[in-house]
Amino acid sequence: MMGAMTQTVAHLGGKWATSVVEVSSDLRSLDQGGRWAVLLPYYGLPVAIRFRNWQDQPPDLGPASWLGPATGSWRSSLDELGYLQAVAEVRSAIAAGSVYQVNICRVLSAQLPDLDRCHIGGLSALLQAGNPAPYAGMICAPEIGVEVVTASPELFLERRADAICSGPIKGTGKVAADLTTKDEAENVMIVDLVRNDLSKVCVTGSVTVPDLLRVEAHPGLVHLASYISGTLLDEMRWPQIIEATFPPGSITGAPKSTAVRIIDELEPVPRDYYCGAIGWVDADEGTACLAVAIRTFWKSDGHLHFGTGAGITWSSDAQAEWRETELKAANLTDVAARSWQSGLT
């Protein structure tokens, strides 16, 4: 297994990407030709990798071996008491009138038990089997320190020429009956925020909400999702689009600028890739699909990391919000604890 998955490869939108042409942190590159794998950290510089080859079948990269951390080995950046205190701080800010909603997250970290058996391709295969997701993907570029795999259920931005769409998720339960009026109100708040974000780069009057409060089922839970679409202005390019819409509203809050400031104050460690965006951009075809980087693992310094969070409003019950973060993490950390040794599929 030594040496497998050492070259840069991506698996995004159902296609495998190989043969790197260039790597850039400049979003202007996304308008200059080629098909790119894109990773936008919540904090830090963008990572854009242009690949020459994109194909439906997995390339011959050799086997990928994975031995994950035990389920009980994860350590949280916020323990239960710390999370409850953060919820109380957000509710105080809401009472003061400075914010309506803030998404409070925690980062889980676990030491990898065997560095010779921690190829992110193996974890990607496990997730595809054990937690299938509409925006599943992987970017493995170990030479630049990027090894990220996602089972994201949430659309950040989809582009087809001048048509753009976003699909924020707010509201989580084990079954549809668990979803509450609080979840619906939270979702509508973020729909309004995303409408405002898109209006900055879209033709006046073109931003609409074709689907509001759709119940979507995923492994072990259900979500409320809404979809907002618009028509891009002719002069809009990717730097302007990302500036207007990033970070995603569903993982920050409303108003976004205040929510981001409160997140910086209350969350003890950086989110890193969590709550950013991951996906692909095809500059030649004028198409793209970027997911919100939730249900996402990344490797660094011999550890595996994973983020989980919940949206806090005035009507939040702190214990219920903590349980929501546990629910969102449970199936994924169980899958990551498994072992895998096979060819890439």
Q: What is the pLDDT tens value at each position of the chain, 345 positions in all?
A: 223 446 899 999 999 999 999 999 999 999 999 999 999 999 999 999 999 999 999 888 777 789 999 999 999 999 999 999 999 999 999 999 999 999 999 999 999 999 888 999 999 999 999 999 999 999 999 999 999 999 999 999 999 999 999 999 998 999 999 999 999 999 999 999 999 999 999 999 999 999 999 999 998 899 999 999 999 999 999 999 999 999 999 999 999 999 999 999 999 999 999 999 999 999 999 999 999 999 999 999 999 999 999 999 999 999 999 999 999 999 999 999 999 876 544
User: What per-residue confidence (pLDDT) applies to 128?
Assistant: 93
Does residue 299 carry a catalytic annotation? no
Return the structure tokens found at 182. 């609080």
User: Residue 153: what pLDDT?
Assistant: 96
pTM of the model: 0.95
Place of tokens 């595809």: 128
Phi, psi of 306 (to 5 degrees): -155, 140
- Catalytic member of 15, 143, 147, 170: 170
Q: 75: exposed, middle or buried (C-beta count within 10 Å: 0-12, 13-18, 19+)?
A: exposed
Print burial letters for 123-140: b (CB count within 10 Å at least 16), e (below 16).
Answer: bbbbbbeebebebbbbbb
Locus of tokens 């790597």: 23
Residue type, 232: L
Tokens 């509508």 belong to which residue? 188
Q: Are 93 and 52 in contact (CB under 8 A)?
A: no
Q: What is the pLDDT of residue 41?
A: 98
174 is catalytic: no
Q: What residue ranges define each of the domains in the chain, with the CATH number in brackets?
A: 9-71+113-239+272-307+336-343 (3.60.120.10)
Q: What is the pLDDT of residue 1?
A: 27
Pick the catalytic residue: 147, 154, 186, 267?
154
pLDDT score of 345: 44
